[in-house]
């Protein structure tokens, strides 16, 4: 069960991190240069649902995996283990990611034009940075810390 959770978590991570890097490095530069939102709308039409599913998979498998690392949940806030501190940090970064991506997908994307394309681009860059931070924090749990 543990190995299946890690594999699903890695699949979700590859989708969330890889998809946002493709958006920020592959789609947005040309859309911004041409002031044309269409490439972004087309990309999000394909990636949007996969991204949402990846986020749900990350939360579900992440919490299940956390059971192997944090010790008793009753003391996770009062006496957090080093791994528990990273898991709490990941939960905080997830809340931030959901807030920024939720604003981008529900407030900007439905009305995306050349005028708010720049604002969408900054949301996408922030989400991508947070995604990479999640990946690094995840590796830190398995490696027993980064330093």
Residues forming the site for ligand HEM (CB under 6 A): 6, 9-10, 13, 16-17, 58-59, 62-63, 65-66, 68-69, 87, 90-91, 94, 131, 134-135, 138-139, 141-142
Task: Name the residue nearer to ligand HEM (CB basis): 87 or 124.
Answer: 87
Query: CB 119 → ligand HEM: shortest distance, Å?
Result: 22
Q: How many helices (H) and strands (E) does the chain have?
A: 5, 0
Give me the least distance between CB of 118 and ligand HEM, in Å please: 25
- Between 68 and 118, CB nearer to ligand HEM: 68
Least spacing, CB of residue 100 vs ligand HEM, in Å: 12
**Calpha distance 143→141 (Å, rounded):** 6
Is the Cα torsion angle 113, 56, 19, 82 positive or negative in sign? positive
Minimal distance, residue 44 CB to ligand HEM, in Å: 17
Cα–Cα distance measured from residue 92 to residue 112, given in angstroms and rounded to the nearest whole number: 28
Distance separating alpha carbons of residues 38 and 36, to the nearest angstrom: 6
**Residue 33 buriedness (CB in 10 A; 0-12 / 13-18 / 19+):** exposed
119 or 129: CB nearest ligand HEM: 129
| Residue 12 vs 37, nearer CB to ligand HEM | 12
């Amino acid at each position: 069960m543990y190995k299946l959770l890690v594999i699903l978590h890695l699949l979700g991570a590859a989708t969330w991190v890889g998809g946002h890097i493709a958006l920020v490095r592959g789609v947005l530069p040309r859309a911004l240069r041409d002031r044309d939102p269409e490439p972004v709308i087309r990309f999000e039409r394909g990636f949007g649902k996969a991204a949402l599913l990846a986020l749900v998979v990350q939360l579900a498998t992440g919490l299940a995996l956390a059971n192997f690392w944090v010790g008793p949940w009753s003391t996770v806030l009062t006496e957090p283990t080093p791994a528990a501190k990273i898991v709490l940090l990941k939960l905080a970064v997830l809340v931030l990611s959901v807030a920024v991506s939720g604003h981008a997908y529900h407030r900007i994307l439905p009305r995306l034009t050349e005028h708010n394309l720049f604002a969408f681009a900054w949301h996408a860059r922030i989400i991508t940075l947070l995604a990479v931070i999640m990946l690094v924090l995840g590796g830190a749990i398995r490696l027993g810390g980064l330093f």
